[in-house]
Amino acid sequence: MAKGALSHVLRGKGLFCAVLCFGWQAAQATPCPTVVPGLISPGQLVMATNPTLPPLQYVTVDGRIAGMRMELGDELARRLCLKPVFLSTSFAQLTLGLLEKRWDVINTGMFYTSQRAKLMEMIPYEIQAISVSLNNDTTLRPARLEDLSGKSVGVEMGGIEERHAREADQALRASNRPGLEIKTFQNVGIAFAALRAKQITAVLSIDAVAQRNAHQGGVRPVLAGLYPTPVALALRDPALAQQLASVLEGMRQDGTLARLMAPYGVAPFPGHITVSKPHFSDNTR
């Protein structure tokens, strides 16, 4: 195992470190695959991410790409006896770069959709849901997203949060109620900055990001677990996708996947992990 990959696995502390170390030692007995097909660079697993969602993926003060999904990538590469390489790019460039063979894997928490599965090999391995966050001092007590009728809502541009916000807006207007005033931002961090500055009323984000921002202060999630949706790795090469799916399924079976996700409040995909085609069930169509 490469020293750099091991340092990533061991960067947690206390019990989290201990259980990951145990999982690492158990997996050491697994021999390296004879051939890993479809790599753009021999001996390396090149993964692209849009590191704007702390704590799941973000850039540290010293310029490193870190977070849960990087820990996942480290472990995938280690089990394949490859060197993990992480590249930072915008969300808009992820699919194009994959199809142009600039990286092997999109490892950024991409939501599964049937449309994306027509373009790429997708491996659902995680479930993510959406939270609604408000300022701590607000008097609003929404019981559902539609209760923010007439209010300003911040979302990351082009994300699934924007899609659900626009669906709620349309439903409100169809029922002759004021819609949502949807404000799009380049990334969710800017949206939360606007919320803290009271430039908007609410932010829609995935649950783990909402919890991270709550810990930083000034805001809190008032709704969580909305629209649970599978999150997937995306690949171009079918053979490599099958091999990664097999590794992920092994991580699910030996408990590594659940242990890795637990500190982040993230749930593994419920059931056998495999490459999923466009007929796979999702709630984003």
Does the pLDDT of residue 137 top 70, yes or no?
yes
Q: Within 13 A of 1's CA, how many CA atoms are on the CB side?
A: 21
Does the pLDDT of residue 12 top 50, yes or no?
no
Alpha-carbon torsion angle 114, 117, 118, 120, nearest 10: 160
Q: Quick one: pLDDT band at residue 18, thresholds 50, 70, 90?
A: very low
State the average pLDDT over residues 1-22: 40
Does the pLDDT of residue 281 top 60, yes or no?
no
Does the pLDDT of residue 220 top 80, yes or no?
yes
- Mapped onto helix, strand or coil, the DSSP state of residue 214 is helix
State the average pLDDT over residues 55-60: 96
* Architecture in CATH of 3-128+229-268: 3-Layer(aba) Sandwich (3.40)
- Residue 219, pLDDT score: 98
Rounded Cα gap, residues 257 and 11, in angstroms: 16
Least confident window among 76-85, 147-156, 272-281? 272-281
Does the pLDDT of residue 279 top 90, yes or no?
no
- Residue 34, pLDDT score: 78
- State pLDDT tens for residues 157-171: 988 999 999 999 999
Does the pLDDT of residue 15 top 80, yes or no?
no
Identify the CATH homologous superfamily for domain 130-228. Answer: Periplasmic binding protein-like II (3.40.190.10)
Q: Which residue has the higher pLDDT, 52 or 39?
A: 39
- Examine domains 3-128+229-268 and 130-228 and report if their fold is the same: yes
Does the pLDDT of residue 224 top 50, yes or no?
yes
Beta bridge partners of 233: 123
Q: Which residue has the higher pLDDT, 5 or 62?
A: 62
pTM more than 0.75 = yes
- Residue 14, pLDDT score: 41
**Spans of all domains in the chain:** 3-128+229-268, 130-228
Q: Where are the beta strands (DSSP E) in the chain?
A: 44-49, 52-53, 57-59, 65-66, 83-88, 105-111, 121-135, 152-156, 181-185, 202-206, 219-235, 267-268
- Residue 72, pLDDT score: 98
- Residue 26, pLDDT score: 45
Compute the Cα dihedral for 201, 211, 90, 107 and give only its sign. Answer: negative
- State pLDDT tens for residues 229-275: 999 999 999 999 999 999 999 999 999 999 999 999 899 999 999 99
Does the pLDDT of residue 151 top 60, yes or no?
yes
Rounded Cα gap, residues 128 and 268, in angstroms: 9
Q: Which residues contact 211 (CB under 8 A, 6 or more apart)?
A: 131, 221, 265
Residue 100 carries which DSSP code? T
Q: Quick one: pLDDT band at residue 95, thresholds 50, 70, 90?
A: very high
State the average pLDDT over residues 174-194: 96
- Residue 29, pLDDT score: 52
